[in-house]
């Protein structure tokens, strides 16, 4: 797979993560945040090779929000 094709799995990971994060289940939300982080890594990989620097920077900020969301989700379940 060329790195250009990485945008498609990145998109699918993002959609899957959004589905999981919207769940009422704490366990599914937890998985959603991890899947979001996988999508962030995939988008960075695609963005670097495509020269899409705004996408790369965005993914770092979104990853920070995903980590924050995962921590808040974990705190709610305690």
Model pLDDT for residues 27-68, shown as the tens digit of each residue: 999 999 999 999 999 999 999 999 999 999 999 999 999 999
Which 8-state DSSP code applies to residue 5? G
Domain of residue 20 covers 3-77
Confidence of residue 18 (pLDDT cuts 50, 70, 90): very high
How many CB atoms sit inside 10 A of residue 60's CB? 11
CA atoms within 13 A on the CB side of 6: 16
Q: How many domains does the chain have?
A: 1
Check pLDDT > 60 for residue 1: no
């Amino acid at each position: 797979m060329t790195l250009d094709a990485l945008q498609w799995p990145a998109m699918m990971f993002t959609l899957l993560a959004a589905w999981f994060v919207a769940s009422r289940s704490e366990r599914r939300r937890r998985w959603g945040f991890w899947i979001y982080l996988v999508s962030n890594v995939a988008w960075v990989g695609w963005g670097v090779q495509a020269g899409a620097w705004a996408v790369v920077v965005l993914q770092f900020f979104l990853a920070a929000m995903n980590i924050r969301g995962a921590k808040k989700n974990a705190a709610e379940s305690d």
